[in-house]
Structure 1
Amino acid sequence: MNEESQIVLAEYNTLMEAEIAKSMLDSAGIPSTIRNEYMSTIYPVGTMPAQLVVRKEDYERARDLLRHR
């Protein structure tokens, strides 16, 4: 994904939470990535959250999907 076409959909205190949300998006055909994937496991909870990132054009659909989980 191009950095300019990405937007942070959500931030999670644990990598596991971010992975679950990413899996849900993947299942719905919405491509996503996790930023700070490794840093969020090194630093104390809440210091460097894992960020779930999607394309701008997928943001609304992805947000609605995660909201109803």
Structure 2
Amino acid sequence: MQDETMVVLAEYNTPTEAEIAKSMLDSAGIWSTIRNEYMASIYPLGTMPAQVVVRSEDYEKAQAMLRHR
């Protein structure tokens, strides 16, 4: 996994919103993870958003998946 380039797919104000997006991606077989999950819950809304990141080769498919939710 270290050699793969990770890109930010979306940013959310709460970790819960990011978890919902991650769950949708997981169900479609798209690997993702959440950055800043804990920091987003500590800091005020919008200060440090939770970021859903995916592999660069999955970006377009993941973007289409979240757009249709």
Give TM class, smaller chain.
over 0.9
Seq. identity, %? 75
In structure 2, give the amino acid aligned to 1:44: P
Distance 2:27 2:46 in 1: 27
Moved beyond 6 Å, runs of 4+ = none
Cα 1:28–1:16 shift into 2, 3 Å: same
Q: Aligned runs of 1:9-48 on 2, under 5 Å?
A: 9-48=9-48
Stretches of structure 1 lacking an aligned partner (at least 5 in a row)? none
- Does residue 66 of the first structure (1) align with residue 52 of the second (2)? no
TM-score with structure 2 length normalisation?
Answer: 0.95
Distance 1:64 1:12 in 2: 17
Stretches of structure 2 lacking an aligned partner (at least 5 in a row)? none
Distance 2:4 2:27 in 1: 24
Q: Structure 1, residues 9-68: CA drift from partner, whole Å, max 9, x if none?
A: 000000000000000000000000000010000000000000000000000000000000
Quote how far apart the aligned CAs of 1:2 are. Answer: 2.7
* Number of positions where the alignment pairs a residue of Structure 1 with one of Structure 2: 69
Cα 1:3–1:45 shift into 2, 3 Å: farther
